[in-house]
Amino acid sequence: MESHQRKIMRISDQLRLRDSNEPLILMKKAVSHQVPKADGRKDLYQKLDVSDLDEIIDIDVEKRICTAEPGATFEKVVESTLAYGLVPLVVPELRTITIGGAVSGGSIESMSYRFGGFHDSCLEYEVLTAKGDIIVCSPEGDESLLFNMMHWSFGTLGIITLIKFRLIPAKPYVKVTYEKYRSLEEYNRAIWSHYLSRDIDFMDGIIHSPEEYVLSCGNFTDDAPYTHRYDWMRIYYLSTASRREDYLKTSDYFFRYNKGVTNVRPKSFAGRLFFGRLVSSDITLRMAHRFVKVLPEKAIPITVDTFIPFSKMGEFMKWYEKEINHFPLWCVPYKVAHKYEWLSDEFSEKVKDELFLDIAIYGMYRENPEIWHRLIEEELMDIGAIKTLISSNHYSEEEFWSIFNKENYETIKRSMDPDNILRDIYKKTCFKSQD
């Protein structure tokens, strides 16, 4: 911990000695997993280097708890914990997602139907205020609101410097069975059955078309007659349409989508043969962020993660097929572990579902993308669904705060960042604020 403390004091001193209230952006090693936004003002912001906050501090095997800095990637965390036969309760699908990003943004995966989001497995955060003060918070105690509001705050309330989270036992391999269905009704019944019985370790799926639904059901196993690795020629989401079962090493299972969830480039056989080993989500995102200013708007695909209440899935898909009709879709069942303090009471009252489905719309190219973003946003607000803020957002300020809890946000903002040097969440994540 001595090394960690030195890092924190360095960052804290930089914050304390600032002679300006100009906005800050954090310099990190890992690429941002937000959709690139052509906001030229970023170049004018002051930079705070937190790139060395990427170490795993401790793995308590007996208590099944890991303590790590926010810049540690899930690839690094899985490698370190799996050596002890343990893994995080939720492991996002891309190798370079960081644990800090999973908390301040939001990340789910195929264990989310049992455990919720990664943040739901967290026990404690160490957070720096914009003034350089250190606060330790947990789900209970005096700083419980701060703890709960850090999720989906997108780095606007404080700087996470340490995360303590739970682990569960794991086995060397995962066996995946691909259940095939021809209708949404059958698909939903299967999802609900597995949700109630908790008879599998992992559950997600691909909706290839309105007539082709695949539910990927996985279980840890000690042995495997063969293994597949989806990192070059094999594309995982495509394989789900033809395969009946699969065996993967546990680490390979977690990152089976790393080459792309439902938007793989290059798509041709020749392209994958010669360049597929080089292309990953990390590289694609890094290049997109670098060249976003020179790319035409239509060259950036529409990327949207939607959280649909399970009871509204039929209604949503009927609307979606009529108005959008872009496939395939990634489908991840997500258990709402508790009432989230960052959601407004008004919005929370709309739907009481305990299970949501993350319907991920990736790689959709359309003229005038703002029109399509607004169409999706309006439908989601109507049915009490949520759109993650990683994508392009076009909410009005009134619409935004009808979804998110303004009172709770401003309460924490006043105590953590009164001068707004970490920026306001609405202005940071919504295009309408950039007018």
What per-residue confidence (pLDDT) applies to 106?
Answer: 82
Rounded-to-integer distance, Cα 280 and Cα 95, Å:
10
Alpha-carbon separation of residue 80 from 55, 251, 318, 354, 386 (angstroms):
11, 11, 44, 33, 34
Rounded-to-integer distance, Cα 313 and Cα 311, Å:
6
What per-residue confidence (pLDDT) applies to 392?
Answer: 85
**What is the per-residue burial (b if ≥16 Cβ within 10 Å, else e) of 131-147?**
ebeebebeeeeebeebb
34 pLDDT band, cuts 50/70/90, is low
Residue with tokens 């305990």: 354
Instruction: Please say if the pLDDT value at position 202 is more than 80.
Output: yes
Picking from 405, 423, 377, the residue whose alpha carbon sits closest to that of residue 130 is 423
289 pLDDT band, cuts 50/70/90, is very low
Residue with tokens 């003034």: 131
* DSSP line for 190-229: HHHHHHHH---SEEEEEEEETTEEEEEEEEEES--S----
351 pLDDT band, cuts 50/70/90, is confident
Q: Which of 27-41, 152-166, 197-211 has the lowest mean pLDDT?
A: 27-41
Picking from 134, 160, 162, 159, the residue whose alpha carbon sits closest to that of residue 57 is 162
What per-residue confidence (pLDDT) applies to 372?
Answer: 94
Q: Tell me if residue 37 falls in helix, strand or coil.
A: coil
- The predicted model gives 378-398 an average pLDDT of 92
- The predicted model gives 210-214 an average pLDDT of 98
301-345 tens-digit pLDDT: 888 999 999 999 999 999 999 999 999 999 999 999 888 999 999
What per-residue confidence (pLDDT) applies to 91?
Answer: 97
42-95 tens-digit pLDDT: 556 788 999 999 999 999 999 999 999 999 999 999 999 999 999 999 999 989
Is-cis flag, bond preceding 369, omega within 30?
Answer: no
Pairing type for strands 46-49 and 24-27 reads parallel
**Structural domain boundaries of the chain?**
2-170+414-434
Rounded-to-integer distance, Cα 122 and Cα 162, Å:
11
Instruction: Please say if the pLDDT value at position 281 is more than 80.
Output: no
197 pLDDT band, cuts 50/70/90, is very high
Percentage of residues in the chain with pLDDT exceeding 90?
A: 72
What per-residue confidence (pLDDT) applies to 288?
Answer: 45
Rounded-to-integer distance, Cα 285 and Cα 281, Å:
6
Instruction: Please say if the pLDDT value at position 274 is more than 60.
Output: no
What per-residue confidence (pLDDT) applies to 302?
Answer: 87
Rounded-to-integer distance, Cα 200 and Cα 202, Å:
6
What per-residue confidence (pLDDT) applies to 272?
Answer: 42
What per-residue confidence (pLDDT) applies to 234?
Answer: 80
Q: Tell me if residue 160 falls in helix, strand or coil.
A: strand
353 pLDDT band, cuts 50/70/90, is very high
363 pLDDT band, cuts 50/70/90, is confident
Q: Which of 38-47, 344-353, 404-413 has the lowest mean pLDDT?
A: 38-47
Q: Which two tokens stand for residue 306?
A: 């939607």
- Contact by Cβ (8 Å): 367, 301: no
- The predicted model gives 229-252 an average pLDDT of 91
Instruction: Please say if the pLDDT value at position 264 is more than 80.
Output: no
Q: Which two tokens stand for residue 118?
A: 């990664």
Q: What is the CATH topology of the domain spanning 2-170+414-434?
A: 3.30.465
Rounded-to-integer distance, Cα 7 and Cα 1, Å:
10
Q: Which two tokens stand for residue 386?
A: 């949520």
Note the helical H segments in 327-405: 345-348, 369-383, 397-403
Residue 203, φ and ψ in degrees, nearest 5 = -155, 120
**What is the per-residue burial (b if ≥16 Cβ within 10 Å, else e) of 397-428?**
eebbbebbbbebbeebbebbbeeebbbbbbeb
Number of C-beta neighbours around residue 435 at 10 A: 4
143-182 tens-digit pLDDT: 999 999 999 999 999 999 999 999 999 999 999 999 999 9
Let me know how many helices (H) and strands (E) the chain has, helices first: 16, 16
39 pLDDT band, cuts 50/70/90, is low
Rounded-to-integer distance, Cα 280 and Cα 30, Å:
14
Rounded-to-integer distance, Cα 422 and Cα 273, Å:
44
User: Model pTM greater than 0.85?
Assistant: yes
Q: Please, which residues bridge with residue 122 across strands?
A: 165
Rounded-to-integer distance, Cα 37 and Cα 251, Å:
32
Average confidence score pLDDT of the chain: 89
* 154 conformational bin, left if phi > 0, alpha if psi -120 to 50, beta if neither: left
Instruction: Please say if the pLDDT value at position 292 is more than 50.
Output: no
Strand spans (E) along 53-211: 56-60, 65-68, 86-88, 122-128, 134-137, 159-169, 173-181, 202-209
Would you say the C-alpha torsion 31, 36, 38, 39 has a positive or negative sign? negative
Burial class (CB within 10 angstroms; exposed 0-12, middle 13-18, buried 19+) of 326 = middle
Q: Please, which residues bridge with residue 13 across strands?
A: none
